[in-house]
Amino acid sequence: MLGDPLLVASLIAQALEELGVRLGDETSERQWSDVLGILKIQGDRLEHGYLDEWAEPLGVGDLLARARQDSRPR
């Protein structure tokens, strides 16, 4: 388990930033892949409540939901 709160906060911030880059007409597969990787690798170690809290005001709530769906094992 990750013990460093700064690392966890950094991963959360990176995921939100990557989702923000995806807004609009330009889509970066690399950024989308980064987000999916963070969600897959960190899983329950991420503070999902914090992600949810900031995703909506940043306008990426729908993308976060989709990323969570896409990052689930098939």
pLDDT in tens, the chain (74 residues): 445 555 555 777 777 777 766 555 455 777 788 888 888 988 888 888 888 888 888 778 888 899 899 999 87
Closest CA to 64 of 5, 74, 73, 53: 53
- Pair 38, 14: CB distance under 8 Å: yes
Residue 5: strand, helix, or coil:
helix
This prediction has a pTM of: 0.68
d(CA 23, CA 12): 17
Q: Any idea how long the chain is?
A: 74
